[in-house]
Chains A and B, each alone.
Chain A
């Protein structure tokens, strides 16, 4: 055994699970039951996400940290699923619903901010203990408050949010006093450093992209895995291999056609997620050489799409110096959005077509 210190990884991927990686449906009793009993083999992933995570994980020396609101008794099944996907999950944090019920802490069951923030800080400390103080790329979705939690995590690590304010925010989000004390203690142990390089929010719950404008450019809303891959490739954090893998999965396993791929790339370009040179190269050189060709992405189709790309291009988004966020206001806004959404979903059954519009049925 060597005495040399472990080599730090190049990057840490921090993922949420449900509605970010897994296509879980919590809006119906059937969906909930399915999530509880489904085997690791049968778990459905969000189109393209399996290929994305696998290609990212295999491409560089990376660590995978998963913090999920799923119950602890799903641990073995989730780890088996990742192993079936050829990915090693370095840290998996799940919610202890049983413990919360036993202690009579019913607020903990529904509140996400204290639970996830503490889990992120704990895993950060675990990484630091292994000299792995490296950059992190975070992945969440719009169904919960992932955007707020990831930004708060970054601000807390960088001490852009002081202890008094953090305590107020946690109190607002329904944390118990001892939870607040534990989180503040963890913050004191974390090295002052902003590890978060990018936060991706997968728009699974039917939010408009403009909803995340309030996060002042610190959050990147994406419609699918290909848009994440395009943005990472624009920032030099992914290569053609990742892009091809995602496109292949979308085409082969989810029946996405040439129009769908082109629409995704054009949208990424219009929203500043992707550089024009990269979009041109993906359209002209890459996709016609993948399974996309069989789905109609012929060189002729690529030429037509490529011809129109310059009209869609806007300068790519740059993260710049992070601005602190009005978390108290954001939290209230997120709560109001979730309430409106819940109300709309309850009404959805009574209004034909509303459920589909809200994206709560299979497309």
Chain B
């Protein structure tokens, strides 16, 4: 059971395309609400200069130095990756040593996974680590938020059924703890809805999940059904998930661009957009990947939340709250219990 002390969340401030400013603002704001103990790893002099301009509480906000990164322009991804390599290992080590309960980073996901592999252990019985992502779905009855969990989105190939089954268990447990859905529905992403549709590992995973009592498996979903909200958790191969996520992000961007074009081009279109403003705003709120806060790497023995690189203050603040919620609900204990049958070699 989680103790009474506050959750300590460590941030790598070199991650993200917007620079450390967004992270500093989120940390300063939440420090005054006492939601969690926040530790910012980065260039201390710069961080202190930024903090000096904001109201904050040093009792819940600490700074840990990292080697100074060269100044960079927003969007300079190469320099960003180099800078992340300076702060992220320090943050990861603090997490591994137990100085922090959770790590939030907007650094390149590949780097986060590599460092997590090096510094952190896995949950007992866990064959692979899955990167999860929150995706927008159509609103459905009985769901508080029109959101779903897609995993794995790591970009790594998942070629065995065992890993897919474990991802389903991890994803369902995470969804249950975080969204408080008592029995989240789980589906496999495949080429068709039939039990024999898709590659061999998906067919085999389908068969195992059908007989798994701990997971409410609702069958296969096609890519076209992904956004319809038929399942709370959708499990797929890491490479497919990565591409699906990229496609969704691209579509969101394209929609925003189309609206911008319409706004500039015709007065009547502008008028139409004005009339639709409230609905468009709601749609944008749901589909904006940069406000979700962070998605977890599931299967590790510590909590790592990976935020979108374009995340803003609100997203980082949400990530801190999410980390606090995960600890308060004893996510680690729940995941360990859920994965225990895999550790003992029995049937979950």
Chain A contacts to B: CB under 8 angstroms: 203, 206-210, 223-224, 227, 256-257, 259-264, 266-268, 270-271, 296, 304, 308, 311-312, 353, 356-359, 363
Contacts and interface: CB of A to CB of B under 8 A. Distances in A.
A235 to B, nearest CB: 20
Contacts of A206: 32, 55
A356 B29 CA distance: 9
22 contacts: A203-B55, A207-B55, A209-B52, A210-B53, A223-B57, A224-B58, A257-B6, A259-B6, A259-B37, A260-B59, A261-B59, A263-B60, A266-B58, A267-B58, A268-B58, A304-B99, A311-B65, A312-B63, A356-B32, A357-B33, A357-B55, A363-B33
A355 B105 CA distance: 28
A304 B98 CA distance: 12
A297 to B, nearest CB: 13
Main secondary structure of the interface of A (DSSP, over half): helix
A256 B52 CA distance: 23
B266 interface: no
B65 A312 contact: yes
Contacts of A304: 99
A357 B32 contact: yes
B315 to A, nearest CB: 15
Given A259-B37, A363-B34, 6 more contacts: A257-B6, A267-B58, A270-B48, A271-B48, A312-B63, A312-B65
Contact of B59 (A224, A357, A358): A224
Contacts of B33: 353, 356-357, 363
A263 B32 contact: no
B46 to A, nearest CB: 11
Contacts of B65: 308, 311-312
A312 B32 contact: no
A357 B56 CA distance: 9
Interface in B48-80: 48, 52-65
Interface of B: 5-6, 8, 29, 32-34, 37, 44, 48, 52-65, 99
A257 B32 CA distance: 16
B44 A311 contact: yes
Nearest to B99: A304
Contacts of B5: 257, 296
Contacts of B6: 257, 259
B59 A223 contact: yes
Contact of B44 (A268, A312, A358): A312
Given A208-B52, A208-B54, A257-B6, A264 B59 contact: yes
B62 A263 contact: yes
A292 B64 CA distance: 21
A257 B37 CA distance: 10
A207 B32 CA distance: 11
Contacts of B52: 208-210, 271
A263 B52 CA distance: 15
Nearest to A258: B5
A225 to B, nearest CB: 11
A267 B28 CA distance: 13
A308 B64 contact: yes
Contacts of A223: 57-59
Contacts of B99: 304
B44 A270 contact: yes
B59 A270 contact: no
B60 A260 contact: yes
Contacts of A261: 59
B27 to A, nearest CB: 12
Which residue among A256, A261, A267 has the maximum number of chain B CB atoms within 10 Å of its CB?
Answer: A267
A203 B56 CA distance: 9
The residue in B52, B56, B59 that gathers the most chain A C-beta atoms within 10 A of its C-beta is B59
A363 B29 CA distance: 13
Contact of A262 (B32, B48, B62): B62
Contact of A363 (B32, B37, B61, B63): B32
A296 B58 CA distance: 17
A353 B57 CA distance: 16
Contacts of A312: 44, 63, 65
Contacts of A353: 33
